[in-house]
């Protein structure tokens, strides 16, 4: 009896395997919990955001471009490496990283980038090895520890680590605190053969950057007219990074620039309600206000104040740094009076 049952079961399973019947294979099929489904590999997205890849696409910084192009030209003629470069500016967003990427592309060398705060003890030499004779770009290089900077002295001059030769490379540093490096790490500063201080962008250059960016990034029907581009440039605090942020927001808001400026709390010419709040606070304390007091008052870090808020107020002559702290200028007082009706 058991033998007959096994034979019947084999016949049944054989028929079931070949059975196609009236199953609709267009309908989704259920899988048991143990079914293994292969997940397709993620497709790498191609960025549509435009970034200049050549010097002729990079608008502004004429002096810096002239210096860099001449050194690149001579480097190729001499079949040597590019000398070490230090890029500085009073604030971020002026295109330092983009310039370094262009240098690497022009030289046709490898490009390794990191922020100094991310460098763990003992890993600096690993980054040099990773650069493989190309460019090692250290952003916020003023944050490098003193002992790390001292280790680079011999490497930068003689390309040796612990007496052993390493492949020649180019170190490029970027900083918004040049004075801090000169004051605390002067020997390190002296080893950069090409110190370049980036210039402020004027409104015409910023308008051109905006025009180029929207042409490379957005559809024609979304483009803003020259009048709006110029107004965006005037409110971008002199940096391409802010310009692009306002440009994209205006396009996303259907061209309503005034609405965008209001959303970002911009009063006029890039000055914000937070700037006004800072000026009013300093104005009330005519003996001077310290950095820590200002940061506590605003509820932000000292770093945020120093790099995001203060540079524009200083460059616009609305405040000054004194031994007793920050003080307001006559222009700053005039600004607060002009906008005394605004609540912050």
Residues 156, 60, single domain; the answer is: yes
**What's the sign of the alpha-carbon dihedral 52, 54, 59, 62?**
positive
Same domain, 317 and 281: yes
pLDDT tens-digit readout, 179-210: 999 999 999 999 999 999 999 999 999 999 99
Q: Are residues 62 and 160 located together in one domain of the fold?
A: yes
pLDDT single digits (tens) 334-344:
999 999 999 99
pLDDT of residue 160: 92
For residue 254, name the pLDDT band (cuts at 50, 70, 90): very high
Number of domains in the chain: 3
Whether 171 and 67 map to the same domain: the answer is yes
How does 307-323 read in b/e, with b if 16+ C-beta sit within 10 Å?
bbbbbbbbebebbeeee
Domain presence at residue 333:
yes
Residue 86 lies in a domain: yes
Residue 224 near residue 214, CB atoms below 8 Å: yes
- Could you tell me if 188 and 228 lie in one domain? no
Q: Are residues 218 and 320 in the same domain?
A: no
Is 73 exposed, middle or buried, given 0-12, 13-18 or 19+ CB atoms closer than 10 A? Answer: exposed
Q: What gap in Å lies between CA 94 and CA 68, rounded to an integer?
A: 16
Q: Is residue 112 part of a domain?
A: yes
Query: CA 113: distance to chain centroid?
Result: 11
Q: Which of 282, 291, 277, 266 is nearest to 329 (CA)?
A: 282
Q: How far apart are CA 293 and CA 90, in angstroms?
A: 22
Q: How far apart are CA 55 and CA 76, in angstroms?
A: 17
Same domain, 228 and 154: no
Residue at a domain's end among 187, 222, 256: 256
Q: Given the DSSP bridges, would you call strands 164-165 and 194-197 parallel, antiparallel or unpaired?
A: unpaired
Torsions phi, psi for 189 (to 5 deg): -60, -40
Residue 294 and residue 329 share a domain: yes
Domain of residue 212, residue span: 203-256
With H, G, I as helix, E, B as strand and everything else as coil, classify residue 233: helix
Cβ pair 112, 138 in contact under 8 A: no
Residues 190, 207 within the same domain: no
Strands 271-272 and 325-328: unpaired
Q: Any idea what the CATH number is for the domain that residue 324 is in?
A: 1.10.10.10
CA–CA dist 195, 187 (Å, integer): 14
Helix-, strand-, coil-residue percentages of the chain, each rounded to 5: 50, 10, 35
Least confident interval from 23-27, 52-56, 173-177: 23-27
Tens digit of pLDDT for each residue in 78-132? 999 999 999 999 888 899 999 999 999 999 999 999 999 888 877 889 999 999 9
| DSSP character string of 156-171 | HHH-EETTEE----EE
Task: Judge whether 262 lies within some domain.
Answer: no
**What is the CATH number for 163?**
3.40.50.300
pLDDT for position 57: 96
Among candidate residues 170, 197, 224, the one where a domain is terminated: 197
Measured between alpha carbons, how far is 206 from 43 in angstroms, rounded to an integer?
35
Pair 237, 312 in one domain = no
- Enumerate the β-bridge partners of residue 328: 319
3-state SS, residue 111: strand
Measuring CA to CA, which residue among 175, 222, 223, 228 is closest to residue 206? 228
Which residues 6+ apart lie within 8 Å of 81 measured at CB? 75, 133, 168, 169, 170
Is the pTM above the cut of 0.85? no
> In this structure, is residue 318 part of a structural domain?
yes
| Mean pLDDT value of segment 323-341 | 96
């Amino acid at each position: 009896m058991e033998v007959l049952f096994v034979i019947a079961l084999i016949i049944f399973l054989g028929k079931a395997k070949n059975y196609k019947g009236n199953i609709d294979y267009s309908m989704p099929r259920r899988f048991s919990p143990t079914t293994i489904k292969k997940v397709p590999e993620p497709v790498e997205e191609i960025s549509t955001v435009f970034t200049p890849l050549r010097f002729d696409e990079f608008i502004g910084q004429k002096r810096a471009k002239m210096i860099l192009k001449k050194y690149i030209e001579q480097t190729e003629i001499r079949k040597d490496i590019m000398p070490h470069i230090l890029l500085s500016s009073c604030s971020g967003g002026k295109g330092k990283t983009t310039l370094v990427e262009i240098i690497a592309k022009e030289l046709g060398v490898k490009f390794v980038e990191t922020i100094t705060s991310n460098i763990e003890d003992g890993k600096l030499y690993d980054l040099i090895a990773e650069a493989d004779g190309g460019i090692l770009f250290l952003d916020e290089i003023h944050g490098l520890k003193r002992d790390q900077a001292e280790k680079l002295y011999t490497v930068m001059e003689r390309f040796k680590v612990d007496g052993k030769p390493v492949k020649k490379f180019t170190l490029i540093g970027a900083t918004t605190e040049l004075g801090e490096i000169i004051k605390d790490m002067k020997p390190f500063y002296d080893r950069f053969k090409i110190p370049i201080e980036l210039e402020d962008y004027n409104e015409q250059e910023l308008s051109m950057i905006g025009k180029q960016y929207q042409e490379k990034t957005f559809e024609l029907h979304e483009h803003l007219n020259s009048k709006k581009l110029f107004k965006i440039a005037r409110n971008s605090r002199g940096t391409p990074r802010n310009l692009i942020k306002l440009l994209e927001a205006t396009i996303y808001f259907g061209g309503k620039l005034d609405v965008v400026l209001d959303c970002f709390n911009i009063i006029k010419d890039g000055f914000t309600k937070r700037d006004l709040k800072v000026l009013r606070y300093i104005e009330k304390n005519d003996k001077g206000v310290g950095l820590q007091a200002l940061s506590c008052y605003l509820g932000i870090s000292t770093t945020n104040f120093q790099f995001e808020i203060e540079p524009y107020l200083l460059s616009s002559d609305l405040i000054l740094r004194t031994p007793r702290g920050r003080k307001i200028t006559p222009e700053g007082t005039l600004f607060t009076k002009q906008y005394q009706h605004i609540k912050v």
